Structures are given as structure tokens and as C-alpha cells.
Structure 1
């Protein structure tokens, strides 16, 4: 184990451990950034199914990944209570922290496949991280369940038969947003807009999908400016000032994770949303929970997999009940939790 990994330790790692139920799993190793969870009641004769989980507890994706980690552990514990996959293969989970960095995600993917012999990898957060591990996945012929990363390139240009996307891809997402925004353009007489996005795979692909779909739907609407910022940006004042200086009728943001929270808070403080409409940005259950007191009321946004849109589904009803029982009466699952829960049950049905 590298010296760097030995010394990675902070309260975020403790939060991961707290989400694990010690009655259901034995912690085989708890080095910082490395964790293996063995089913507590697996029989000696049972052949375990080894599952790798690559999600960040550090970096801009950590606030979304928290729900995914809890969902995977909850789903695998429930399946193990019935004997595991097919009723006879208890699931062993090996976890790695990707730090929301493609190079680390690739390194950890190689390690978790070679060292822990996992049969399926779940993750990661950030489309750049997902694409970084796909070559490894393809080479080793390991299943890959992408339950958050949704760049369309993951299943199109970067196609491999071993990757399955358990979320709408960025073109689907942008296209659905354009349907709503085009109606708002017509209703309000909007003529121009600007975009702001994270300068990496998902941000670029999502912005491109929005711009192209809007051009086809509302060709007269002019794109005045494109603004791009690095992943993990903490100071948005210059970008917000540039948006207001352009005097667009509306702005579209391709922003996610902690960056999304920071941008919304700073934009609100600078009065952006009083001067420029901001429709179609990501407002998932995470944003609603973490910014419940500060999120601007009346803002129209996108949620990728909100639990409240699927209340008629038996599996969602089961998941909400389990999640609240485990994490508290007011703890409802996030979009990212729901998609990871769905991915595990998708694997169960394989």
C-alpha cells in the first residue's frame, strides 16, 4: 500500500463507516480509502459474489456519492439476508475512494480487480472517472454498472459491452430540459442565453446536448457566451459577473456536485437569479435536502431520479421504507441513492 494511501484519513472516511451496519457485514480491512465488507452470516460452503464499489468521499462528487454508498450497502445487505444472489451467493463488497479524479479511479479499478478479484464494478462519480476505468473494464471483461456518470460517450463513442448505464445519459437529460425551456422561451419571449459548465466530460457533453437540442427546437434563440470553470472551483464571482454583464434572458448551467451547491449559493448572494432566469439546472434531492433553507423558491430545475416521481413502483416503496428505517424518519433517498439501489437490483436480475 502506498504511503499516500496510508495517510489519507479524515472525518469523511468515518462517515462511510457509519453508514455500514456492523450486524450485517464484517469489516475485513479499514485502511483509509480501502474497505472490504464480508457478509457476516455467509456459510463456509457458499461461494461469495465479489462486488467492487468505486465512489468518492473526497472531491466535488462526495456529496452525491454518499447516497450511492448507503444504497449499495443497504441493497446488498437485504439480498444477503435472503442468501445472496440466486439465494446462494452472498455478496462481498470492496470499496475504494476515487477522490473524484480519473487517474485515481483508474488506479483503484486495477487494484480492486487484481487484488480483490471483483466480478462487477459499481461506479463511479464523474463521467471522466467512468471513462477512465472503461478500458480496464473492457480488457479484464468485468461488468461495470454506471449509476451516476451519464455522459452519452460512455455508452456510445466509448462503448463496451461490459458497461451498463443505470441513469439517463446526458443527451437524454439535455433533450428533456430543452422541451421545458423551449416552452418558457415562447411564453416569455426570450431571445438570448449564456451557458456555464464544469470543464470536464460531463459538463461539456451536457452543455453541447442542450445547445444542439435548443438550436433544433428554438433556432432563433441566440447563445451569447459560454463560460467554463475547473472541477472543484470555489470562487464564482467572476463567472457570475460575466453572466450578468452579457445581459441574457436566461442562463443554463451544466453543474453538479459540490460545485453546484457553491455556485447556487454565490449566485444567489450576488443577485443573479433576480436579474437572469436560470431554468434547467440540476436540482436533485441532494440540493433540496442540503439547501432546503437557501435554495431559491420558484426555480425550475432538473432532478435525475427523484424518489417522489416513482412512488407507484413497488421497488421504490420498499427502498424508501428500508432507507427511512435505517437512516431516520426524515431521511429520504437521493437521486444518486435510488440509481445505485436500482443498479444492484438490476444485477440481481441478470
Structure 2
């Protein structure tokens, strides 16, 4: 069975879509850590997750879960929580894989492909597909960008669609994808990779039916919401070009400007950094159509007594120090990584809402 681990703080409608899409795309059970359980709206999120037969919700309060040692970096909290799940199921025969996914991601996994992975393989690699971004959308997009080879990147660069012939510029979010780990393999999870005890990255099994759908800033509203959420989640890692965007947004919201002026320049930043030229990408055959809610897969129910055992093991961790669960790749930086200045975005970005 395939489990996911996630650390989220989002609205009930977004969490509802997140859960439904993952469970329709090959995931059997989700462990969802509520990053700010006392925030407005999070009690409703927890109640909905608690009532779901394929979800285990874990509130992570500063005192109760973190024992007053809550890491400042969101990335650190995500890694710790993912490895808590991995450790909790390490010797349970029904738990075959654990994948870490963010609240804006969907693990797209063909169960038949998982069954064919050699038993001595400890890691999976889920390559990214990134949803296209437009200023206004009425529903989650079903068009996705895939990573391109150098020839197609040169084509888009020559056409002026991207400013550099690089996937790290073509994609607005990460290009690493996500990893899955087989419990008991001795591997651990970072944000994007499986690593051994020395921090060495395990390559992972790849197949065309293994991917992660990433809904990164799919609209202008989500662009504002994302950066507002990051402003209050602690330090996070950004690629250099995204750190520049974060700094630009911090500079914009830090100025004493009328709301309409701020919104004008917010939209300009979005247009220059995030909006996709969907028409051109479609004409060139560079987009894939994926609707995870129509994948027609039904999650498998946990064996009798398994849910209670999983919940009991997670509860037993509550009083333990969490830092030992943190995994770092060789050559990685400090606790939460670098990042731009995103302070006060939550309150001042037009159209943003507290997640």
C-alpha cells in the first residue's frame, strides 16, 4: 500500500481537493500534519480529515507536538513529519511505500507499476508535471508542463517564451520531483529525495506512470496566497530566481501604496515571472492533459486493526523529541535553507487570504 505524508495549512476547500485528487491517483492512505492547528478554519479541516476513512490527521501544535522546540523552517518541519511516518510504519508489512507530498501536489502512481518494482529497490522517483498558470481560472487546470529536453528549451527561448533555455526557468516550482521510500529500507526522506544515513541521495526507480502533479501558483489569486502563506511559515528554500521574486514582493508590500497601485504591480510581477503562454505551449505539443479526479482508482482500505496501530504509533511519538527525525542531503545548507524576504505578505497582498 502507498502512503503519503504532508504538512499543510490551507483552506477546507483546498484540502478537500488535495485529498480527493491524491486518493483518486493511486494513494491508499494519507497522513496529514496540520502545521497551524489553532489558526482560523483549521478546526474544520481537522474535523473533515478525522472523518475520512483514508486519512489520518495529526495536529502539530507548538507545545503538544513540538514540545516547545518547533523548527523555524517549514522545510525542516516537513522533513521531520515525513520521517515520523516512515519510522512509524517501518516494520508493518502492509505499508509498502511512503511518499512526501506538499499541499499543492498530487502523487500520480500506477499501482501495477509499483507491484513490478524489484523487492530490493528502496526508493522511487516521481518526476514533476507542473500545472499551467493563468491570471484567472474557474477550476483546477488539467494542462501540465513536462520537463523539456535542450532542443525544445532552445525553441521556447528563441520564441521569447522563456528568458533562459532552462527547465528551472520554464518551471515556476521545483524540477526535482518527489521521492518515495520503502519502509525498512534504511533510507529517509528529504523534501525531494531519498537519502541514506550519510545523506547520500538514492537514485530511485523511475517509470512513465510515476509522477507528481504540482499546482504551483495556478492563478493570480494562488500566486498571492502562496507567497502570503510562505511569509508566516518560516524560512523556506528557494532557487535563486524565485528568491529574487520573493524579495521583489517583499519590497512591493513594504511600500506605503494605495491598494489599487499595489495590485497593479503585483499583477505585473505575476505576468513577468509566473504566467504561462498556454497557447504557444499547446500549439507546440508541449502540454499534457491530466485530470487526477478522473483517474478512476479506488484507494485500498487498511487491513483490520492497521489504522488503530498507525494512530497509536504516531501518538507515541508526540512526547518524543522530533529533531532526530530530520534528514539532510550531503552538501545541504542550514536548518531551513535560504530564502527571500516575504514578511507581511499575508496582510497586504491584494486578493490573498489566510490559508
Same fold (TM over 0.5): no
TM-score (norm 1): 0.29
TM-score (norm 2): 0.29
Higher helix share: 1
